Amino acid sequence: MNLPRYFALIPAAGVGARMGEKIPKQYVPIAGKPMLRHVLDTFSSADSIAHTFVVASAEDGYIDATMAALHDSSYVTVLRVGGATRHQSVLNGLHAMREMVDDEDWVLVHDAARPGLSITLIDKLINILRDDEVGGLLAVPVVDTLKRAGEKGRVDQTVARDRLWAAQTPQMFRYGLLRRALEQAVAVTDEASAIEALGLQPKLVEGDARNFKVTLPHDVALAELYLKGFV
């Protein structure tokens, strides 16, 4: 019996409208190279990852230059099957990579806009989940007091933060299970939610603050500080 392998899947078909940039968010330069390039370099350097797949839109005019800049592009395959949502892009990517992946192989789905991912975090996630029956995700405990807004921007309720975690990526599940979950899901914002909809409980693996998602313009400056080693 062959041992399960580990594949990375990067949905990168979004436009990043909240960033206010003229180019898709994943190509905004940070610390000298596009965000997506940081992610691809990290996965390509991880010995545990057999191969990386990037899901781009069919009209993406930037991915070729990013691929050409990689030190070794043989570790990465571009799948031009991006959908209108992350859910659809990941599912399309799973369908497109079918011939290279077995049902029991693991897929690590990671946001293109999380350039702070490290090989240490990848290895930690794999080591903790490799024998898990369900799979799981990187996440960080919520430390701030949470407020739910009511009308006119006033506090409606303070939400207890006990046992609350903020989801990160990668989110790691076996290919067969993840594909089935996403095919049955109606509308989910991450892979763990689709797994939960099957009645399963993904395992939480503590991540790192550096692995945050670049969403707003000021996030770029913070990501640069992390990537340049200033904080």
3-state secondary structure of 158: strand
Which is nearest to 121 in space by CA: 70, 82, 172? Answer: 172
Cα 93 vs. chain centroid, distance in angstroms?
Answer: 13
Give pLDDT tens digits along the chain (231 positions): 689 999 999 999 976 555 556 789 999 999 999 999 999 999 999 999 999 999 999 999 999 999 999 988 999 999 999 999 999 999 999 999 999 999 999 999 999 999 999 999 999 999 999 999 999 999 999 999 999 999 999 999 999 999 999 999 999 999 999 999 999 999 899 999 999 999 999 999 999 999 999 988 889 999 999 998 877
Please report the pLDDT score of residue 16 as a whole number. 55
Which domains are present in the chain? 6-227 (3.90.550.10)
DSSP type of residue 106: E
CA quadruple 173, 116, 114, 96: dihedral sign: negative
pLDDT value for 21: 62
Q: Tokens 């991880």: give the residue.
A: 46
pTM for the full predicted model? 0.94
Q: Return the HEC string of 7-72.
A: EEEEECCCCCHHHCCCCCHHHCEECCEEHHHHHHHHHHHCCCCCEEEEECCCCCCCHHHHHHCCCC
Question: What pLDDT is stored for residue 194 in this prediction?
Answer: 98
Measured between alpha carbons, how far is 144 from 209 in angstroms, rounded to an integer? 13
The DSSP call for residue 97 is T
